[in-house]
Amino acid sequence: MALIVHKYGGTSMGSTERIRNVAKRVAKWARAGHRMVVVPSAMSGETNRLLGLAKELAPAKPTTPYNRELDMLAATGEQASSALLAIALQSEGVEAVSYTGWQMGVQTDSSYTKARIERIDDERVRADLDAGRVVVVTGFQGVDELGNITTLGRGGSDTSAVAIAAAMKADECLIYTDVDGVYTTDPRVEPDARRLAKISFEEMLEMASLGSKVLQIRSVEFAGKYRVPLRVLSSFTPWDIDINEEAVSGTLITFEEDETMEQAVVSGIAFSRDEAKISVLGVPDKPGIAYHILGAVADANIEVDVIIQNLSKDGKTDFSFTVNRAEFARTVDLLKTKVLPTLGAADIVGDTKICKVSIVGIGMRSHVGVASKMFRVLSEEGINIQMISTSEIKTSVVIDEKYMELAVRALHKAFDLDQPAN
């Protein structure tokens, strides 16, 4: 009698036919004797429809009161889909009840449109589970101290599911989505990419932050903090496949570092086209330079990713960093008007035609030479490395965007990711 949390994305809830399939799948799990909590997203397209209406009516400058109303509006999408799923479960002969974020006691801060969960009071849901009911809980939303409805931001239903699983000490949280697991890299770039049966929490966190979009990164962080066993699997397998087979499908995000995992030095390759590079040239090489430049950027709420400072020459140095491509123009403008005049730097140059390619593997901790092998592989392909960034379990390089697919495929092969794991 395990306590299991299922989470279904908007595509899985996209029509009454699909909701019926979700209900049949959940009913199967309930009949197998599991205590079931289900967290559905809004029906696909619904959140965009609602936000589109809001946009037509929105004031010129968004304010906190406006964001409050946006959350009030957007939260209806999950409320509707949760009620529909509970109805579909009842039609399958399963006792079911749905709760909104506030009914479930999902307490958040008041940061409308990107609230953070502070506390979950699961008393009512436990009583329902004890009574043999399946409980459907709206993802994506909560309620602040004053009773205002809040939402957790895009993809927040993943986070809701994990937070509920953590609060209720669920045995496993299953994230049903439109892919069947986490791959060694994106199969659209490398057809030989393999699905990983297991990945460590730390690797998943790096993969998610480096551009692999299977899971929202906040949900992975949450799973890590509360050690929630998480499984990513497909909602498009037939609902009536054997439950024992389904229970081990997809990819398990695990906290145990067993031998199998240590054998694979590199587990996956992530990449992202979302960044742009900015270089400040001819900067006087003296203490406080990094703070002078990046402090101004941080003050403008712009996130900086990779940072490098070149060796000094004649008392001058070059300073480069990457930002999200959408923030590129704003950052350059900020530096030119606010930083350059007081810094005595020569010039600013930017490049939006870059990409970041990363190898990720928990085995890198205990294996030397992994990064240098990466650099050798890229060099053999004639790919110039512009920037390098490393952490304990990943190495990222910034290269010309046009080499992205080539780099991913060469690294995938060089690190034997196309070979079946033993």
- In the complex, what is the shortest distance from the CB of residue 97 to its own copies, in angstroms, rounded to a whole number? 7
- In the complex, what is the shortest distance from the CB of residue 5 to its own copies, in angstroms, rounded to a whole number? 20
274 annotated to bind ligand:
no
Q: How many CA atoms lie within 13 A of 142 on its CB side?
A: 29
Nearer to its own copies, 32 or 73 (CB): 73
Helix (H) or strand (E) holding 97: strand 96-99
47 annotated to bind ligand:
yes
- In the complex, what is the shortest distance from the CB of residue 69 to its own copies, in angstroms, rounded to a whole number? 4
CA dihedral for 290, 291, 292, 293, sign (positive or negative) = positive
CB contact at 8 A, 89 and 26: yes
Nearer to its own copies, 54 or 281 (CB): 54
Which residue has 């054998």 as its token pair?
Answer: 263
- In the complex, what is the shortest distance from the CB of residue 383 to its own copies, in angstroms, rounded to a whole number? 49
- In the complex, what is the shortest distance from the CB of residue 413 to its own copies, in angstroms, rounded to a whole number? 48
Nearer to its own copies, 80 or 406 (CB): 80
At 115, the amino acid letter reads A
Q: What CA–CA distance (Å, rounded) separates 89 from 96? A: 6
322 annotated to bind ligand:
no
7 annotated to bind ligand:
yes
Q: How many helices and strands, by DSSP H and E, does the chain display?
A: 15, 20
68 annotated to bind ligand:
no
- In the complex, what is the shortest distance from the CB of residue 62 to its own copies, in angstroms, rounded to a whole number? 10
Q: What CA–CA distance (Å, rounded) separates 406 from 381? A: 8
- In the complex, what is the shortest distance from the CB of residue 61 to its own copies, in angstroms, rounded to a whole number? 10
- Helix, strand, coil percent values for the chain (each to nearest 5): 40, 25, 35
CB contact at 8 A, 72 and 109: no
Q: What CA–CA distance (Å, rounded) separates 98 from 115? A: 22
181 annotated to bind ligand:
no
Nearer to its own copies, 91 or 384 (CB): 91
Task: Dig out the tokens for 310 from the structure.
Answer: 């070149």
CB contact at 8 A, 195 and 183: yes
Nearer to its own copies, 69 or 418 (CB): 69
228 annotated to bind ligand:
no
Q: Which H, E and C letters describe 267-315, residue by residue? A: CEEEEECCEEEEEEEEEECCCCHHHHHHHHHHHCCCCEEEEEECCCECC
Nearer to its own copies, 87 or 307 (CB): 87
CB contact at 8 A, 161 and 219: yes
Which residues here bind its own copies, judged by CB under 8 A?
16, 19-20, 23, 50, 53-54, 56-60, 63, 65-66, 68-70, 72-73, 75-77, 79-80, 82-84, 86-88, 90-91, 95-98, 100, 102-103, 147-149
203 annotated to bind ligand:
no
- In the complex, what is the shortest distance from the CB of residue 133 to its own copies, in angstroms, rounded to a whole number? 9
Closest CA to 380 of 414, 405, 343, 349: 414
Nearer to its own copies, 60 or 368 (CB): 60
177 annotated to bind ligand:
yes
At 17, the amino acid letter reads E
Q: Would you give the end-to-end CA distance of the chain in angstroms?
A: 32
Query: Three-state SS for 111?
Result: coil
- In the complex, what is the shortest distance from the CB of residue 53 to its own copies, in angstroms, rounded to a whole number? 6
363 annotated to bind ligand:
no
178 annotated to bind ligand:
yes
185 annotated to bind ligand:
no
Q: How many CB atoms lie within 10 A of CB 111?
A: 16
Nearer to its own copies, 138 or 272 (CB): 138
Nearer to its own copies, 103 or 310 (CB): 103
CB contact at 8 A, 189 and 403: no
Binding site residue list: 7-10, 47, 78, 177-178, 183, 188, 213-214
Binding site residue list for substrate: 47, 78
Binding site residue list for ATP: 7-10, 177-178, 183, 188, 213-214
